[in-house]
Amino acid sequence: MTKVNSSAVVIIPPKEIWDPIQEIRRAYDRHVLRWMPHITLLYPFRPESEYYTLEILFSKICKKIKPFEVTLSNLKYFNHGKQKYTLWLTPEPESLIIEIQYKLLAIVPDCNNVNLHKNGFTPHLSVGQIEGKKRLIEVIGTLQRDWSQLKFTIDSIYFIAREKQKLSKFEVKKTFVLS
Protein backbone atom coordinates (compact mmCIF):
# COMPACT_ATOMS: atom_id res chain seq x y z
CA MET A 1 0.00 0.00 0.00
CA THR A 2 1.03 3.58 -0.62
CA LYS A 3 1.50 6.44 1.87
CA VAL A 4 1.57 10.08 0.78
CA ASN A 5 2.47 13.36 2.52
CA SER A 6 -0.63 14.96 1.04
CA SER A 7 -3.03 12.97 3.23
CA ALA A 8 -3.58 12.53 6.99
CA VAL A 9 -6.01 11.39 9.67
CA VAL A 10 -6.56 14.09 12.29
CA ILE A 11 -8.67 15.52 15.08
CA ILE A 12 -9.76 19.10 14.39
CA PRO A 13 -10.98 21.38 17.19
CA PRO A 14 -14.24 23.21 16.48
CA LYS A 15 -13.78 26.50 14.62
CA GLU A 16 -15.32 28.40 17.54
CA ILE A 17 -12.10 27.92 19.53
CA TRP A 18 -9.60 28.51 16.71
CA ASP A 19 -8.94 32.23 17.32
CA PRO A 20 -6.41 31.97 20.20
CA ILE A 21 -4.70 28.99 18.53
CA GLN A 22 -4.46 30.76 15.18
CA GLU A 23 -3.17 33.93 16.82
CA ILE A 24 -0.15 31.97 18.06
CA ARG A 25 0.20 30.10 14.78
CA ARG A 26 0.16 33.30 12.71
CA ALA A 27 3.12 34.53 14.76
CA TYR A 28 5.16 31.30 14.93
CA ASP A 29 3.94 28.59 12.53
CA ARG A 30 5.25 28.54 8.98
CA HIS A 31 2.51 25.96 8.17
CA VAL A 32 -0.43 28.11 9.30
CA LEU A 33 -1.76 28.45 5.75
CA ARG A 34 -1.31 24.79 4.81
CA TRP A 35 -2.80 23.03 7.86
CA MET A 36 -5.86 23.84 9.95
CA PRO A 37 -5.39 23.50 13.74
CA HIS A 38 -5.25 19.75 14.31
CA ILE A 39 -3.97 16.79 16.30
CA THR A 40 -2.36 14.29 13.95
CA LEU A 41 -3.33 10.64 14.36
CA LEU A 42 -1.85 9.15 11.15
CA TYR A 43 0.57 10.89 8.76
CA PRO A 44 1.59 10.28 6.06
CA PHE A 45 -1.59 8.44 5.13
CA ARG A 46 -3.17 6.74 2.13
CA PRO A 47 -3.94 8.75 -1.02
CA GLU A 48 -7.48 9.97 -1.58
CA SER A 49 -7.97 7.26 -4.19
CA GLU A 50 -7.98 4.71 -1.32
CA TYR A 51 -10.37 6.58 1.01
CA TYR A 52 -13.45 4.74 -0.24
CA THR A 53 -12.03 1.32 0.63
CA LEU A 54 -10.93 2.49 4.09
CA GLU A 55 -14.18 4.29 4.93
CA ILE A 56 -16.09 1.21 6.14
CA LEU A 57 -13.28 0.07 8.44
CA PHE A 58 -12.77 3.53 9.95
CA SER A 59 -16.53 3.98 10.42
CA LYS A 60 -16.78 0.69 12.34
CA ILE A 61 -13.98 1.68 14.72
CA CYS A 62 -15.31 5.21 15.25
CA LYS A 63 -18.82 3.95 16.07
CA LYS A 64 -17.29 2.08 19.03
CA ILE A 65 -15.57 5.16 20.48
CA LYS A 66 -17.45 7.53 22.76
CA PRO A 67 -16.91 11.30 22.37
CA PHE A 68 -14.83 12.85 25.14
CA GLU A 69 -13.67 16.26 26.30
CA VAL A 70 -10.07 17.45 26.08
CA THR A 71 -8.36 20.49 27.47
CA LEU A 72 -5.57 22.45 25.82
CA SER A 73 -3.82 24.08 28.75
CA ASN A 74 -0.05 23.56 28.57
CA LEU A 75 2.59 24.50 26.03
CA LYS A 76 5.42 22.04 25.45
CA TYR A 77 8.04 21.51 22.77
CA PHE A 78 9.88 18.91 20.74
CA ASN A 79 13.65 19.35 20.44
CA HIS A 80 14.85 18.61 16.91
CA GLY A 81 18.51 19.32 17.70
CA LYS A 82 20.64 22.20 16.45
CA GLN A 83 18.54 24.66 18.51
CA LYS A 84 15.35 23.93 16.51
CA TYR A 85 12.08 23.30 18.31
CA THR A 86 8.41 22.68 17.59
CA LEU A 87 6.04 24.40 20.02
CA TRP A 88 2.74 22.64 20.82
CA LEU A 89 -0.33 22.51 23.02
CA THR A 90 -0.96 19.33 25.02
CA PRO A 91 -4.42 17.82 24.64
CA GLU A 92 -5.38 16.22 27.96
CA PRO A 93 -6.16 13.46 28.67
CA GLU A 94 -3.58 12.17 26.20
CA SER A 95 -4.39 8.53 26.96
CA LEU A 96 -7.78 8.61 25.18
CA ILE A 97 -6.23 10.07 22.03
CA ILE A 98 -3.45 7.46 22.14
CA GLU A 99 -6.15 4.78 22.40
CA ILE A 100 -7.97 6.11 19.31
CA GLN A 101 -4.73 6.28 17.36
CA TYR A 102 -3.84 2.71 18.35
CA LYS A 103 -7.23 1.41 17.14
CA LEU A 104 -6.98 3.27 13.81
CA LEU A 105 -3.38 2.20 13.28
CA ALA A 106 -4.53 -1.44 13.38
CA ILE A 107 -6.37 -0.77 10.08
CA VAL A 108 -3.30 0.70 8.35
CA PRO A 109 -0.27 -0.51 10.36
CA ASP A 110 2.24 0.86 7.85
CA CYS A 111 0.96 4.42 8.45
CA ASN A 112 2.92 4.45 11.70
CA ASN A 113 5.37 7.31 11.06
CA VAL A 114 4.09 9.32 14.05
CA ASN A 115 4.83 6.30 16.27
CA LEU A 116 8.47 6.11 15.19
CA HIS A 117 9.60 9.19 17.15
CA LYS A 118 11.89 8.66 20.13
CA ASN A 119 9.01 8.73 22.64
CA GLY A 120 6.45 7.11 20.34
CA PHE A 121 3.14 8.74 19.47
CA THR A 122 2.65 12.00 21.40
CA PRO A 123 -0.72 13.70 20.92
CA HIS A 124 -0.11 17.39 20.26
CA LEU A 125 -1.46 20.44 18.48
CA SER A 126 1.49 22.23 16.85
CA VAL A 127 1.50 26.01 17.10
CA GLY A 128 4.93 26.95 15.82
CA GLN A 129 8.60 26.47 15.18
CA ILE A 130 11.25 28.27 17.21
CA GLU A 131 15.02 28.55 16.77
CA GLY A 132 17.26 29.03 19.79
CA LYS A 133 16.79 27.69 23.32
CA LYS A 134 16.77 31.17 24.89
CA ARG A 135 14.07 32.38 22.50
CA LEU A 136 12.07 29.16 23.08
CA ILE A 137 12.05 29.71 26.86
CA GLU A 138 11.01 33.36 26.42
CA VAL A 139 8.22 32.53 23.94
CA ILE A 140 6.84 29.66 26.03
CA GLY A 141 6.93 31.83 29.17
CA THR A 142 5.02 34.66 27.51
CA LEU A 143 2.50 32.44 25.75
CA GLN A 144 1.85 30.23 28.79
CA ARG A 145 1.33 33.29 31.02
CA ASP A 146 -1.23 34.74 28.60
CA TRP A 147 -2.89 31.41 27.67
CA SER A 148 -6.42 30.59 28.82
CA GLN A 149 -7.13 26.91 28.57
CA LEU A 150 -9.50 25.74 25.87
CA LYS A 151 -11.87 22.79 26.17
CA PHE A 152 -13.61 20.95 23.40
CA THR A 153 -15.26 17.62 22.75
CA ILE A 154 -13.62 15.20 20.38
CA ASP A 155 -16.63 13.79 18.58
CA SER A 156 -15.18 13.18 15.10
CA ILE A 157 -12.01 12.30 13.27
CA TYR A 158 -11.20 13.41 9.75
CA PHE A 159 -9.43 12.32 6.60
CA ILE A 160 -7.76 15.42 5.20
CA ALA A 161 -5.87 15.85 1.95
CA ARG A 162 -4.31 18.48 -0.25
CA GLU A 163 -3.25 18.76 -3.84
CA LYS A 164 0.36 17.87 -4.52
CA GLN A 165 1.30 21.46 -5.45
CA LYS A 166 3.79 23.02 -3.07
CA LEU A 167 1.48 25.63 -1.51
CA SER A 168 -1.82 23.72 -1.52
CA LYS A 169 -3.96 23.61 1.65
CA PHE A 170 -5.31 20.59 3.49
CA GLU A 171 -9.08 20.20 3.35
CA VAL A 172 -11.47 17.82 5.10
CA LYS A 173 -12.43 15.01 2.74
CA LYS A 174 -14.21 12.55 5.08
CA THR A 175 -15.69 12.89 8.56
CA PHE A 176 -16.14 9.98 10.97
CA VAL A 177 -18.46 10.67 13.89
CA LEU A 178 -17.72 9.02 17.23
CA SER A 179 -20.74 7.54 18.97
Q: In this structure, are strands 68-79 and 39-42 parallel, antiparallel, or unpaired? A: unpaired
Residue 88, domain member (yes or no):
yes
Number of structural domains found in the chain: 1
158: amino acid identity, one letter: Y
Residue 2, domain member (yes or no):
no
> What residue ranges in 32-155 does DSSP mark as E strands?
39-42, 68-79, 84-92, 125-131, 150-154
pLDDT of 167 reads: 84
Length of the chain: 179
| Domain CATH for 82 | 3.90.1140.10
> How far, in Å, CA of 1 to CA of 8, rounded?
15
Residue 78, domain member (yes or no):
yes
> How far, in Å, CA of 7 to CA of 47, rounded?
6
> How far, in Å, CA of 122 to CA of 178, rounded?
21
Residue 63, domain member (yes or no):
yes
Residue 57, domain member (yes or no):
yes
pLDDT of 119 reads: 87
How do the pLDDT tens digits run along the chain, 179 residues long? 799 999 999 999 999 999 999 999 999 999 999 999 999 999 999 999 999 999 999 999 999 999 999 999 999 999 999 999 999 999 999 999 999 999 999 999 999 999 998 889 999 999 999 999 999 999 999 999 999 999 999 999 999 999 988 789 999 999 999 99
Residue 81, domain member (yes or no):
yes
Domain with 23 in it: 7-177
